[in-house]
Structure 1
Amino acid sequence: MFSGGVAIIGGMRFDDFDQRGYPEVDVRTGYGAWAATYDGSVLDAMDIALLDRLKEPRWSTVDIAADLGCGTGRTGAWLRANGVSTVHGVDLTPEMLDGARKRGAHAKLVEADVTATGLPSGHYQLITASLIDEHLDDLAPLYREAARLAAPGGTFVLVGYHPQFMMVSGMPTHYTDGDGESVTISTNLHLVSAHVSAALAAGWRLAEMREALIDDHWAEAKPKWERFRGQPISVAYVWRTG
C-alpha cells in the first residue's frame, strides 16, 4: 500500500464529504494496527465478488501475477484458487505481509511501495491491485508501475471503492482500534475519469468494467446501510496493454 495525504481531484477533497471526523493516521500505521482483524471486517462482496464476475482475463492461463497492495493475501488466495500458477505480493505494511505469509498463497512477498515495487520489468502476465487506490495521492504512478511490470499482452485488474459511494456515504477507509475507537486511514477520492486518464497515459486500454451495488447481501450484513441500497459501492477495471 502507499502512504498518501488527501488529494484534490476535479476540485473536490474527500474532506468535503467526510461525515465521520475520525482521527486520522497514515497508511502504514493504520494497516499495521488493522492487520489482525482485517480479514474479519472486509466482506468478499466488496472485491472478491467482482473478480468472480469478470469475463477476462482467463485466470487459469496466467503463469505469473503481481499482487500489488497484497495485504493479508485475500486476493492472492483467490487468484491461486482460480488457476493462477504463481503470485508475487507487494505491500507497504509488515503486519499485513505477515498475514499473507501465513496464508501461503504467494511464492514471494516484498515489502515495498506499490508505485516502486522493485519487481522485474515486463515479467508479469497479470497485475492486480485491490482496495488500495483511495490511499494514493496520484493514480498515475500506480498505472505506470503496473505498465512497467506487465509482459507483452499483459492485463491489469484494479478493484476499488466506487467514488460515488464515498461521496454519498461520507465514509473514509477506517478500522476499530484496540480501545474500540474508529480511526481513519488517510483517504483520497479519485473519480472514474481520473482512473481512465492515468491508465491511458500509461499505455493501457480498458477491456472491461464492473460495478457492485448495495443489495440484500449488504443490507443483511450492515443493516444501517439500507439507506444506501442501489448505490454502487465498488468497481473493477480490466486494463490491457497496447
Structure 2
Amino acid sequence: MDFKKFDQRNYPTVSAKEGYGEWAETYENSVPDLLDLQTLHQIKSVSWNDSKACLDLACGTGRIGVWLKSKGVNTIDGLDLTPEMLEKAKAKNIYQKLKLGSVESTGLSENHYDLLVMSLVDEHLKNLKPVYEEAHRLAKPGAKFVVVGMHPFFFMTGMPTHFKDKEGNSKAIETNLHLISDHVRAAMAAGWRLEEMHEGLINDDWVKVKPKWEKFRDYPVSYGYVWSRP
C-alpha cells in the first residue's frame, strides 16, 4: 500500500541505504527501546539461549544483537545494507561475522540458521514475499523467524520513518505500508507457520518518552511475529 496518501510530514525523502547511512551516528539515541525491545521481551515461544546459529537481518548498529547476547544467544551473524551501520555493529564485538547485503538476497548459505531476527525493516521493503522466502531458505527445519516492526496502523497517522541530518533538518526514509494480512500471506506462502503474535499500544510508558504522542494513546504502534519452519 502506498504511504504517500497518508503522509502528513512531506519531508524530503531518501532511500534506506542513504538515510541510514546519514542516521548511523545518532540512530541509537533516537529509537526508543519501547518500539522493538519491549516486544521482544514479550515473546514466549523462543528459547533464545538454545540457539546455535542466529542471523540478525538488517542488524543496523547492533542494538538487537546486544539484546540477543544478553539473552544467551552466543553465535550471531549480522547483515545490513548500510556500511556506516555495519561499522557501528562491528564496534560492539558481538557478531561472529558481518556482511553487507540485502535482506531479500543475502548471499548466505541455505539451511544454516536456527534463529533469525528482523527488526524495524518491513516498511522499507516494497514487497514482503522476497524476505520471507529468503529467510526460509536460510533457516534450518524447526528454525524460528522473529519479525518486529512499527504497526501499519501507526504509519497511517501520517508519520514516516524519519531522522534529523547533520544540519538538523528532518528527512524521511522511503516508507511502505504492509498490513498484518500481507505478512501472513507472504510468510505462509514461503512455508512459515505462525507461532506467536503481539501488538503494542501507545501507553503511559510511551507518553513519558514522547509526550506529544498523548493524542495517540491506545493506538497500535508496534507488532511482533514468531514464525517457525516446520
Q: Shorter-chain TM-score category? A: over 0.9
Aligned pairs for 1:67-106 (under 5 A) are 67-106=56-95
Equivalent residues, number: 230
Check if 1:176 corresponds to 2:175: no
Residue equivalent to 2:216: 228
Check if 1:134 corresponds to 2:123: yes
- TM-score under structure 1 length normalisation: 0.94
Residue equivalent to 1:6: none
Residue equivalent to 1:212: 200
Q: Which residue identity lines up with residue 107 of structure 2 in the other structure?
A: G
Give the 3-state SS of the residue equivalent to 1:103 in structure 2: coil
Q: Distance in 2 between matches of 1:240 and 1:220?
A: 35
Residue equivalent to 2:31: 42
Q: What are the Cα deviations for residues 197-222 of structure 1, in whole angstroms up to 9, with x where unaligned?
A: 00000000100001111111111111
Q: Which runs of 5+ in 1 are unaligned?
A: 1-8
Shift of the alpha carbon at 1:31?
0.2
Q: Distance in 2 between matches of 1:142 and 1:190?
A: 13
Residue equivalent to 1:157: 146
Shift of the alpha carbon at 1:85?
1.7
Q: Which residue identity lines up with residue 139 of structure 2 in the other structure?
A: A
Give the 3-state SS of the residue equivalent to 2:167 in structure 1: coil
Q: Which residue identity lines up with residue 191 of structure 2 in the other structure?
A: G
Q: Distance in 2 between matches of 1:101 and 1:51?
A: 22
- TM-score under structure 2 length normalisation: 0.99
Q: What are the Cα deviations for residues 24-50 of structure 1, in whole angstroms up to 9, with x where unaligned?
A: 001110000000000000011000111
Give the 3-state SS of the residue equivalent to 1:47 in structure 2: helix
Q: Distance in 1 between matches of 2:187 and 2:3?
A: 22
Give me the CA root mean square deviation.
0.7
Q: Distance in 2 between matches of 1:110 and 1:176?
A: 27
Give the 3-state SS of the residue equivalent to 1:115 in structure 2: coil
Give the 3-state SS of the residue equivalent to 2:24 in structure 1: helix
Shift of the alpha carbon at 1:111?
0.2
Give the 3-state SS of the residue equivalent to 1:184 in structure 2: strand
Residue equivalent to 1:14: 3
Q: Distance in 1 between matches of 2:45 and 2:76?
A: 17
Q: Distance in 2 between matches of 1:103 and 1:229?
A: 35
Q: Distance in 2 between matches of 1:99 and 1:224?
A: 30
Check if 1:119 corresponds to 2:84: no
Q: Distance in 1 between matches of 2:153 and 2:192?
A: 23
> After TM superposition, which residue ranges in structure 1, 4 or more long, deviate above 3 angstroms?
none
Give the 3-state SS of the residue equivalent to 1:129 in structure 2: strand
Task: Quote the sequence identity (%).
Answer: 53
Q: Which runs of 5+ in 2 are unaligned?
A: none
Give the 3-state SS of the residue equivalent to 1:117 in structure 2: coil
Residue equivalent to 1:238: 226
